[in-house]
Amino acid sequence: MTQTQSGEDPTEVQNSSLSSSMYSCENLPNHVVTIVMVPFPAQGHLNQLLQLSCLISSYGLPVYYVCSATHNRQARIRANALNPSDIAKIHFHDLPTPEFDSPSPDFNALSKFPSHLQPSWDASMLLREPIASFLRDISSKAKRVIVVHDLLMSYNVQDVSSLPNVESYVFNCISVFTSFCLQSLSGGRMSIQHEEELLKKLPSLEGIATDEARDFSASQRRYMDIRSGDIYNTSKVIEGKFLDLLTQVASDQNKKNWAIGPVLPTKLDRISNRENICLDWLNKQPPRSVLYVSFGTTTSFSDREIKELAMGLEQSKQRFIWVLRDADRGDIFTEEARKVELPEGFEERVNGVGLVVREWAPQPEILAHSSTGGFMSHCGWNSCIESITMGVPIAAWPMHSDQPMTGFLVTDVLKIGLIVREWEKREELVNASTIENVVRKLMASEEGNVIRKRAEELGEAVRQSTEKGGASRMEMDSFIAHITR
């Protein structure tokens, strides 16, 4: 278990032009507050903490991003909508990657929960010692160390409690609405009397995860009390009511919280100038005319489901960009792609109307593009908040975990989307005519236009909140002021 003083694995430096500059703890002036980010090794989580890293580092604070070598590499090569020069300021500290199986997803499973990732999550439980030793080292040289970690890494950062100048904050990768619902429904500290009517209409929690995954998550919660506070990637503009309810509970427990979202890079337009097949194609389409179809990094479809989706899109006669990918494996670098068969002649028939891409797509830029008018999504929080921020309405097709609740937030609370299929029908095949109907309704109907208008207004308000003097910006300033106090 070698740990370099520089915070970098030297082999990475030679191999990768994406490597950050070296930063030696030895050089840290000891008045400095140092930030250590500890992400959970799955794409949606890696990405969020990397963006937060860049944001914190823009305040001139040194930021370390600490994860296994494999996942640090993944975070860097897939960095979306981030400026390479901002990423270069982050000090990636590679922990030795524990060995784990990296099977392919089960395309035909009735449940969409990505249980093939479980071995990599289990392996993450072996990172406690290397993280502790990194923290001991760095905390001996800094005035104060601030650990910002994923909720699902709570077990691994528990040694924070034995280091006097280290404190930890949980970065929540789900919506405040979902946190609120989960706490209410699990009969926790949140009383169900709030929002009782709403909670009655929620999709059930059945089938959202495997027992192993629930156990995994429960084993993290045991260490949650160590934290000093919570950070949420959301905005008062989106979930103010639920944020107030959670803040109430948090302050009863003496924990602070901040709603610093949406954390979007500020110079999206400049980054967007880069060459990309999706963006080039979008440039040639009429305003608000394109449906962007993507199901994130943890969803796989069977051949049959893909065929129905393809036919539904074609029959809708609407323009689309479809990101056709399987779920990630635990180690994305072991991936051999399945060759997905589209219906005979599909790509020729939709030529000019639809674009199928099989590689990594620049999602924030696509959503920000003026030709994009809708998003068919699995409703991961990342995707939803990106869509909300860009003012794009959502065709919600939740697959697992927090997604059914996030879908409910989008369709029933914020009313900026339509549901593709009810959670209760999750084990039924979604056929082409269902897809066709929902796409038409969202992209080409009066009802769709009303929803789009509402989404655009919300997006506008959210974007304003990130500007100087806006609510989110002030929350971020307040977090920085707190940790550098």
Ligand X SMILES: *[C@@H]1O[C@H](CO)[C@@H](O)[C@H](O)[C@H]1NC(C)=O
Given a contact cutoff of 8 angstroms between Cβ atoms, the answer to whether 364 and 391 are in contact is no
Q: CA 254 → CA 228, 249, 308, 313, distances in Å?
A: 8, 9, 51, 50
Q: How far is the CB of 93 from ligand X (least distance, A)?
A: 19
Q: Is 150 a catalytic residue?
A: yes
Binding status of residue 389 toward ligand X by CB under 6 A = yes
Binding residue count for ligand X, defined by CB under 6 A: 17
Which residue among 9, 45, 149, 378 is the active-site one?
45
Kind of pairing between the strands at 33-38 and 144-150: parallel
- Cα distance between residue 338 and residue 419, in whole Å: 29
Binding status of residue 382 toward ligand X by CB under 6 A = yes
Q: Is 45 a catalytic residue?
A: yes
Binding status of residue 431 toward ligand X by CB under 6 A = yes
Taking CB under 6 A as the criterion, the residue among 364, 380, 391, 393 binding ligand X is 364
- Cα distance between residue 213 and residue 470, in whole Å: 38
Binding span for ligand X by CB under 6 A among 275-283, 365-373, 384-392, 406-414? 384-392
Binding span for ligand X by CB under 6 A among 47-55, 151-159, 183-191, 467-475? 47-55
Q: How far is the CB of 383 from ligand X (least distance, A)?
A: 9
- Cα distance between residue 226 and residue 169, in whole Å: 9
Binding status of residue 261 toward ligand X by CB under 6 A = yes
Binding status of residue 434 toward ligand X by CB under 6 A = yes
Q: How far is the CB of 101 from ligand X (least distance, A)?
A: 28
Q: Which is nearer to ligand X, 119 or 380 (CB)?
A: 380
Taking CB under 6 A as the criterion, the residue among 34, 43, 48, 298 binding ligand X is 48
String of DSSP letters for 197-211:
HHHHTSPPSTTSS-H
Q: How far is the CB of 232 from ligand X (least distance, A)?
A: 9
State phi, psi for 325 to the nearest 5 degrees. Answer: -140, 155
Taking CB under 6 A as the criterion, the residue among 19, 34, 51, 294 binding ligand X is 51
Taking CB under 6 A as the criterion, the residue among 15, 186, 334, 433 binding ligand X is 433
Sign of the CA dihedral with 172 first, then 409, 385, and 353 last: positive
Residue closest to ligand X, measured at CB: 262
Q: How far is the CB of 136 from ligand X (least distance, A)?
A: 27
Q: How far is the CB of 174 from ligand X (least distance, A)?
A: 10
Binding status of residue 279 toward ligand X by CB under 6 A = no
Q: Which of residues 323-352 bind ligand X (CB under 6 A)?
A: none
Q: How far is the CB of 47 from ligand X (least distance, A)?
A: 6
Taking CB under 6 A as the criterion, the residue among 35, 36, 321, 385 binding ligand X is 385
Binding status of residue 8 toward ligand X by CB under 6 A = no
Q: Which of residues 228-247 bind ligand X (CB under 6 A)?
A: 233
> In sequence order, what are the residues at sequence separation of 6 or more whose Cβ sits closer than 8 angstroms to the Cβ of residue 448?
374, 393, 418, 441, 442
Taking CB under 6 A as the criterion, the residue among 43, 47, 57, 154 binding ligand X is 47
Binding status of residue 311 toward ligand X by CB under 6 A = no
Q: Angle at Cα 16 formed by Cα 14 and Cα 21, nearest 5°?
A: 75
Given a contact cutoff of 8 angstroms between Cβ atoms, the answer to whether 298 and 117 are in contact is yes
Q: Which is nearer to ligand X, 47 or 118 (CB)?
A: 47
Binding status of residue 52 toward ligand X by CB under 6 A = yes
Q: How far is the CB of 396 from ligand X (least distance, A)?
A: 16
Binding status of residue 297 toward ligand X by CB under 6 A = no
Question: Per this entry, what is the length of the chain?
Answer: 485
Binding span for ligand X by CB under 6 A among 149-157, 177-185, 427-435, 443-451? 427-435
Binding status of residue 70 toward ligand X by CB under 6 A = no
List the beta strands (DSSP E) in 157-248.
166-172, 229-232
- Cα distance between residue 380 and residue 46, in whole Å: 14
Q: CA 255 → CA 170, 184, 224, 468, distances in Å?
A: 11, 18, 11, 26
Taking CB under 6 A as the criterion, the residue among 264, 290, 342, 418 binding ligand X is 264
Q: How far is the CB of 385 from ligand X (least distance, A)?
A: 4
Using alpha carbons, select from 6, 300, 230 the residue that is nearest to residue 137: 6
What b-and-e string marks burial along 369-392, b requiring 16 or more CB atoms within 10 Å of the CB?
bebbbbbbbbbbbbbbbbbbbbbb
Q: How far is the CB of 256 from ligand X (least distance, A)?
A: 18
**Can you state the percent helix, strand and coil of the chain, rounding each to 5?**
45, 15, 40
Which residue among 86, 94, 150, 326 is the active-site one?
150
Given a contact cutoff of 8 angstroms between Cβ atoms, the answer to whether 78 and 47 are in contact is yes
Q: Which is nearer to ligand X, 48 or 70 (CB)?
A: 48
List the beta strands (DSSP E) in 85-228.
91-95, 144-150, 166-172
Under DSSP, the state recorded for 25 is: G
Q: Which is nearer to ligand X, 25 or 246 (CB)?
A: 246
Binding status of residue 263 toward ligand X by CB under 6 A = yes
Q: Which is nearer to ligand X, 52 or 90 (CB)?
A: 52
State phi, psi for 31 to the nearest 5 degrees. Answer: -90, -5
- β-sheet bridge partners, residue 356: 322
String of DSSP letters for 44-81:
HHHHHHHHHHHHHHTTT--EEEEEEHHHHHHHHHT--S
The residues annotated as belonging to the active site are: 45, 150
* Residue numbers at the binding site for ligand X (CB under 6 A): 47-48, 51-52, 233, 261-264, 364, 382, 385-386, 389, 431, 433-434
